[in-house]
Amino acid sequence: MTTSTLSTTDRIEKQPPAWTKMLDLSDRALAVLLLAPAALLLSLIIVYPVLRLGYTSFFSLSLTSGLPAEFVGLDNYRLMIDDPVFWETTWNTVLITLITVPGALVVGMALALLANLPFRVQWPVRLSLLIPWALPLSFAGLIFAWFFHSEYGVVNDVLMRLGLPGVIWFNSPNWAMAAICLTIIWKTSSFMALIILAGLQTIPRSLYEAADVDGAGRVRQFVEITLPLLKPSIVVALIFRTITALQTFDIPYMMTGGGPGTSTSTLAMYIHQNTISFLDLGYGSALAVVMFLLSMCVTVVYLRIIRTKG
Partner 1 sequence: MTATVTQPGALSGKPLRAIAAIILLVNGMFPALWILFTSLKTEAELTLKPISWFPHAPTLANYMQAFSDQPLHLFLFNSLMVALLSTCLTLFISVLAAYAIARLNLKYRGLILSAIIAVSTFPLVTLLVPLFEIMRALNLLNTWIALILPYTVLSLPVCTLMLVSFFEGIPRDLENAAMIDGCTRLGALFKVVVPLCAPGVFTAGILAFVNAWDEFLLALSFNSNPALRTLPVGIQLYQGEFAFPWPVISAALVVGIVPVAVLIVIFQERVVSGLTAGGIKG
Q: Site residues for partner 1, window 199-258 (CB under 8 A)?
A: 200, 205, 208-209, 212, 218, 221-222, 225-226, 236-237, 239-241, 243-244, 246-247, 249-250, 253-254
Between CA 188 and CA 169 the distance in angstroms is 21
Q: Measure the CA angle with vertex 239, ends 235 and 244; round to 5°.
A: 150
Report the nearest approach of partner 1 to the CB of residue 234 (Å). Answer: 11
Report the nearest approach of partner 1 to the CB of residue 230 (Å). Answer: 10
> Left if phi > 0, otherwise alpha if psi is -120 to 50, otherwise beta: which for 215?
left
Q: Return the range that interacts with partner 1 (CB under 8 A); candidates 13-21, 72-80, 81-89, 174-182.
A: 13-21
Report the nearest approach of partner 1 to the CB of residue 185 (Å). Answer: 11
Report the nearest approach of partner 1 to the CB of residue 153 (Å). Answer: 8
Closest to partner 1 by CB, 65 or 138: 138
Between CA 237 and CA 118 the distance in angstroms is 25
- In the three-class reduction of DSSP (H, G, I as helix; E, B as strand; rest coil), residue 68 is classed as coil
Q: Does 195 bind partner 1 (CB under 8 A)?
A: yes
Answer positive or negative: Cα dihedral of 159, 160, 164, 169. positive
Q: Are 92 and 265 in contact (CB under 8 A)?
A: yes
Contact characters 256-285, partner 1, x per CB under 8 A:
------------x--xx--xx----x--xx
Q: Where are the alpha helices (DSSP H) in 116-221?
A: 123-134, 137-147, 154-161, 173-200, 205-213, 218-221
State which of positions 118-157 bind partner 1 (CB under 8 A): 118-120, 123-140, 142-144, 146-147, 149, 151-154, 157
For the chain, what's the residue count? 310
Size of the site for partner 1 (CB under 8 A): 121
- In the three-class reduction of DSSP (H, G, I as helix; E, B as strand; rest coil), residue 148 is classed as coil
Between CA 275 and CA 62 the distance in angstroms is 9
State which of positions 26-45 bind partner 1 (CB under 8 A): 27, 30-31, 34-35, 37-38, 41-42, 44-45
Q: What crossing angle do the helices spanning 84-115 and 281-309 adopt, rounded to 10°?
A: 40
State which of positions 172-191 bind partner 1 (CB under 8 A): 186, 188, 190-191
Report the nearest approach of partner 1 to the CB of residue 40 (Å). Answer: 9
Contact characters 77-106, partner 1, x per CB under 8 A:
------------------------------
Closest to partner 1 by CB, 262 or 274: 274
